[in-house]
Every structure is written in structure tokens, then in C-alpha cells.
Amino acid sequence: MKSKKLLKFLLPITLGIWGYIGYKIYLAKYGEDDSAFATTNYQKSEFKITIDTFTIKANYRDPFSVEIVKNNSEHNHHNVSAINNNLKVESTIIKTLPNVQYLGLIKNSKSNKQIALLSINGSIGNYSVGDNFSGVEVLKIFKDSVQLKFNKDKFFVKK
């Protein structure tokens, strides 16, 4: 008996909610909406599309490239004749990062010294902290990676 009273109470509420949802769907598809956007009449002359063009003049290297480039800044617009007297010309240095692979770790249990097995440009060798080969210096050795330094840039190589 209690469930019949509850059914008589909840059934009209459920049908009302679903009827309201169906009415809104019908209005969205076939009818006119009461919102301010639907009643406002816009003319085509009011809207103008302009394309914004710009250029970025920045003097820094691409963070996704492998090459390391040093450039002189040429954006100073001060007294050029006074600057040219004290200007030292540096040549542009382009060095590519060698192919480095971290192959493994050897750890001495008595002395706690770590040695990394690295393949640098195809040559495999044992390197400890501070060793340098082909301009690549080993800074730190971890279980899963090695921190290296090449031309003042530090980077990690994972297994």
C-alpha cells in the first residue's frame, strides 16, 4: 500500500520532467528560442573579420633542436659608432650533441664508487663522475639516468 502511494506521487513528477526536457529539445530544433540572441537582428555589415599578423624577432635557440647555436645580439640601436670601436667579433659556433646512450651502472659495494656504461657516438666506455669524452662530461650518475654536460648545457640521458 505504501508503494502505491509513492508510485502515484513520483510518476507525475517523472513524466513532467521528461516532458519539459522533450519540449526544450523540440524548441531547439524546430521552434524559436526566447533568448536575446535569437530576437536580435544582426546585419552582415556589423561583423568584420580581420586577420592579425605579427612577427616575433627573438634571438634565442630553438628548445626542440639538437644543435647548440651561439649568436651575437644585433638588436641594439644605440650609438653604433661608439659600440663598433669596442666590439669584439666572435665566430658562430655550431656543435651538434653527440649520440649518447646510457647502457647501465656498475657500483662497487666496498668503495661505493659508481661507474656508468655509456655509448658516445657508437663507442662504448666506462665513465665515472668528472670524466670527459668528446666534450661530454659526466656530472651525476643515477640508477635510471645520467646527468651530462655538453658546451655549458646540462641534460639527462635515461636508460
pLDDT tens for 3-19 read 788 888 899 999 999 99
Residue-level pLDDT at 77:
47
Q: Residue 4 has which C-alpha cell?
A: 502505491
Confidence class of residue 83 from pLDDT cuts 50, 70 and 90? very low
- The CA-based diameter of the chain, rounded to the nearest angstrom, is 104
Query: In 3D, which of 159, 70, 135 has the Cα closest to residue 148?
Result: 135
**Phi-psi region for residue 44, left (φ > 0), alpha (ψ -120 to 50) or beta?**
alpha
Q: Where are the beta strands (DSSP E) in the chain?
A: 67-69, 94-96, 100-107, 114-120, 123-127, 132-133, 136-141, 145-150, 153-158
What span, in angstroms and rounded, lies between the C-alpha atoms of 120 and 60? 27
Q: What's the pTM value of the predicted model, to 2 decimals?
A: 0.41
Using CA atoms of 125, 128, 130, 136 in order, give the dihedral in degrees to the nearest 10: 30
pLDDT-based confidence at 54, cuts 50/70/90? low
Q: From residue 144, how far is each of 103, 120, 148 by CA, in Å?
A: 10, 17, 13
pLDDT at 46 over 70: no
**Percent of the chain surpassing pLDDT 70:** 64
What's the whole-number average pLDDT of the chain?
Answer: 76
Higher pLDDT, 117 or 3: 117
